[in-house]
Amino acid sequence: MKIFFISVCMLYGFSCSAQKYYDYQDTRKKNESFAKLPKTEIRADLATFTLSGIDEAVGKDELQKISFTTFGPDFMNFEGDNIKASIKLLPFDKSKHKLDYDEKYLIRIDRKTYYGNYGNIPKTYIGNITITIDNDSIAIPTAAYADLYNLNLTYMDKGTLRSRNGIYKSKDGHRIYLYLLCKDATGSYEVTWIVQDKKYLRRVLDYGFM
């Protein structure tokens, strides 16, 4: 846990110095944030690995983590304990989307707010997320990731390539959490997709904290 707090503090320090602020309409919402979660086991679990829940992490035991096994510029795979997951990124083609601007800044894509390099045209989007548990495929709805762009699967920390992404297992075995951190100089975001008893439950999304 001590190592976790040190790494988080380093991450905050670097990102705060790189943060940029623009004077334009922000259509993003925080209704899916960690702060909006009721005080349940799910909130307690997320506090152990999310940056948005760091204030509540003290005194809590870390969850078992399944780290990524392979990755590249446009994909990341996870595997362990009969659980597999993969993230696939695809190039963003602006000609296939309706883009809404406030002055020169992009604020909506296809009439919906979005996350990742907000204010600018994205370069990538999440093309697909797959999760299997005990060879059973878990259906992740497109709406659970369609508004997430420019997902940086890794980041540089003092010349070393790192990633905080992973799958976390609840202690009772009923839930898994697929967690991704997108570290971006214009405003990072983190997202956790929650699967309970082999069914997709919801996501938790926070942004603007780095």
For 82-102, the pLDDT digits (tens) are 999 999 999 999 999 999 999
pTM for the model: 0.87
Q: pLDDT tens, 112-121?
A: 999 998 999 9
Cα–Cα distance list, 153 to 11, 98, 132, 170 (Å): 15, 26, 20, 23
Least confident of 62-66, 70-74, 95-99, 183-187: 183-187
Residue 111, amino acid: R
Question: What is the count of structural domains for the chain?
Answer: 1
187 touches 15 (CB < 8 A): no
Domain boundaries, position 77 = 2-207
121 touches 99 (CB < 8 A): yes
